[in-house]
Amino acid sequence: MNRLAWLLASAAALIAAPLAAQTIAITGGKLVIGDGSAPIEGGTVLIRGDRVVAAGANIAIPADARRIDASGKWVTPGVFAGFSRVGLVEVGAVTQTNDMNASGSPFSAALDVQYAINPFASAVAVNRAAGVTRAVVSPSTANSIFGGYGAIVDLGEDDNPITRARAFQFVELGETGQSRAGGSRSASHIHFRALLEEARTYARNPAVFDSDLLKASDAKALLPVINGGTKLLVHVESANDILKVLDLRKDFPALKIVLVGANEGWRVANHIAAAGVPVLASALSDLPYGFEDLAATQSNIGRMKDAGVKVAIGMINDRDAHQLRYSVQYAGNLVALNQVPRATGLSWDEAFAAISSGPAEIMDMGGQLGSLKAGRQADVVIWTGDPLELSTQVESVIIDGVDQSLSNRQMRLRDRYRDPAPGALPNAYDH
């Protein structure tokens, strides 16, 4: 092979490497499957290509597997941020880099975050380095109660972040919805019902559709919500608003509702459980931020779980574009609650599930994501210790079976200023 051909072949091999069906065995670590089961000492995760082949004790390791020794470490599925805005924002207050909502757009439900999510955003790299591998990404709202389509993403360093586009529609029906609809919950609920009725009108004869309320694009976007083909993530906090949302299914029985926030969910947990509606909840909200949050408590998630509600942790309006890495700290805090008299937390196993398989299952993707059970996408993190503990660091991250870089701007700045005084040349030459 001449030199040029060799170079080309090498380059091709490099490019193809992540796509080849590489087999990886991560052995010897404390293995967390992520489905709420107890950790397994000295477990093995076997990955082939982009999938988990097997995980547990006594897994046979093929001879050709690349072995990663995780002895003394913890091995878990990647953290799945149950509600976020990652990739939609570079700098929050710099409007040109903030794509969470579109206050100047005539569209609402048709807006689609898949076009706005930037896999190269700093926050993707920062949170990947902290062990976050998947996220629910939701738009926020501006001129309507509807925010548009959200997506499920991975935080890999490749150029395609979208795991599932149009995974859900987002709507505000609490205090924010009241404001968006014109200043009353009577308005937000009639708004909701009227828009869905308009969408049905559109469906009957798109060619002649003409509505004062709704553009055809938005009507089209709401149709799969009405028939249950697309989930509806509803942000509400108060007990009463939650009950009113559960009632929507009397008029629209096929709605597949997921409650988001639900700070007072514990007060009506039996109703939520009976309705079979899952919840992506804030973990540590415990103040009356508004009158919709009067009964907020950190015990909310634990109490809802005990009542039979399917619940996982989300970052609802809580540094949701930049700090998905708080998920582990929040889960750890819920474990801590079990040692507080009269508080209700989660067991460690439940808490980790609330940031891994829990969000995946709530988004109906538990068969593909969120745990290390056979067949799931191979999102694996190796930690120096208990992943919920504050002193623990991430050692390595694998997404879709591919080793990920942990480098990011923050690390580069850290290293440049390890010794801040300039040396023979200014700091700018240190790179």
Partner 1 sequence: MKFRGLLALAAGGTLLAGCAATASDTNSASTAAPAKSNAANGPAFPSTYAAYPSMPTAVTGVTIYDGEGGRIDNGTVLMVNGKISSVGGPDTVIPSGATIIDGAGKYVTPGIIDVHSHLGDYPTPSVAAHSDGNEATSPVTPEVWAEHSVWPHDPGFSRALANGGITALQILPGSANLFGGRSVTLKNVPARTVQAMKFPGAPYGMKMACGENPKRVYGGRNRMPSTRMGNLALNRQTWIDAQEYRSKRNDAKPPKRDLGKETLVGVLDGDILVHNHCYRADELAQIIDMSKEFGYKVTAFHHAVESYKIADILAKEGICSAVWADWWGFKMEAYDAIPENAALLQQAGACVIIHSDDENQIQRLNQEAAKALADGRAMGIEISDAEAIRWITLNPAKAMGIDTMTGSLKPGKMGDMVLWNGNPLSVYARPEKVWIDGALLFDSNDAKRRPVSDFELGQPGEGDVK
Contact residues: partner 1, CB under 8 A: 89-94, 98, 122-123, 126, 239, 264, 267, 282-291, 293-299, 316-319, 321-323, 325, 329, 332-333, 335-337, 339-343, 388-393, 409-411, 413-414, 417-418, 420-421, 427
Query: Closer CB to partner 1, residue 91 or residue 243?
Result: 91
Q: How far is the CB of 273 from partner 1 (least distance, A)?
A: 19
User: CA-to-CA distance for 104 and 289, rounded, in angstroms?
Assistant: 28
Which tokens hold the place of 374? 């056979």
Q: In what order do the strands lie in the sheet with 146-154?
A: 79-84, 132-137, 146-154, 162-172, 231-236, 257-261, 279-281, 311-313
3 state DSSP class of 273: helix
Query: Closer CB to partner 1, residue 232 or residue 388?
Result: 388
Q: How far is the CB of 418 from partner 1 (least distance, A)?
A: 7
Contact 317, 41 (CB under 8 A): no
User: CA-to-CA distance for 362 and 136, rounded, in angstroms?
Assistant: 11
Query: Closer CB to partner 1, residue 23 or residue 127?
Result: 127
Which tokens hold the place of 109? 């439900």
Q: How far is the CB of 427 from partner 1 (least distance, A)?
A: 8
Give the number of other Cβ atoms within 10 Å of residue 203's Cβ. 15
Q: How far is the CB of 142 from partner 1 (least distance, A)?
A: 12
Query: Closer CB to partner 1, residue 329 or residue 368?
Result: 329
User: CA-to-CA distance for 379 and 156, rounded, in angstroms?
Assistant: 10
Query: Closer CB to partner 1, residue 111 or residue 315?
Result: 315
Q: How far is the CB of 416 from partner 1 (least distance, A)?
A: 9
Q: How far is the CB of 118 from partner 1 (least distance, A)?
A: 13
Q: How far is the CB of 270 from partner 1 (least distance, A)?
A: 16
Query: Closer CB to partner 1, residue 198 or residue 264?
Result: 264
User: CA-to-CA distance for 93 and 21, rounded, in angstroms?
Assistant: 43
Q: How far is the CB of 269 from partner 1 (least distance, A)?
A: 13
Q: How far is the CB of 63 from partner 1 (least distance, A)?
A: 35
3-state helix, strand, coil in the chain (%, to 5): 35, 25, 45
Query: Closer CB to partner 1, residue 114 or residue 240?
Result: 240
User: CA-to-CA distance for 409 and 308, rounded, in angstroms?
Assistant: 42
Q: How far is the CB of 107 from partner 1 (least distance, A)?
A: 22
Write the single-letter amino acid at 393: Q
Contact 349, 34 (CB under 8 A): no
Q: How many Cα atoms occupy the beta-carbon half-sphere of 167 within 13 Å?
A: 26
User: CA-to-CA distance for 230 and 257, rounded, in angstroms?
Assistant: 9
- Measured on CA atoms in the order 14, 16, 17, 18, is the torsion positive or negative? positive
Query: Closer CB to partner 1, residue 94 or residue 207?
Result: 94
> Strands 132-137, 79-84: parallel, antiparallel or unpaired by DSSP?
parallel
User: CA-to-CA distance for 244 and 98, rounded, in angstroms?
Assistant: 32
Residue showing tokens 């469906």: 203
Query: Closer CB to partner 1, residue 97 or residue 201?
Result: 97
| Residues listed for the chain | 431
User: CA-to-CA distance for 283 and 298, rounded, in angstroms?
Assistant: 6
Query: Closer CB to partner 1, residue 10 or residue 410?
Result: 410
Query: Closer CB to partner 1, residue 250 or residue 431?
Result: 431
Q: How far is the CB of 74 from partner 1 (least distance, A)?
A: 14
Write the single-letter amino acid at 128: R
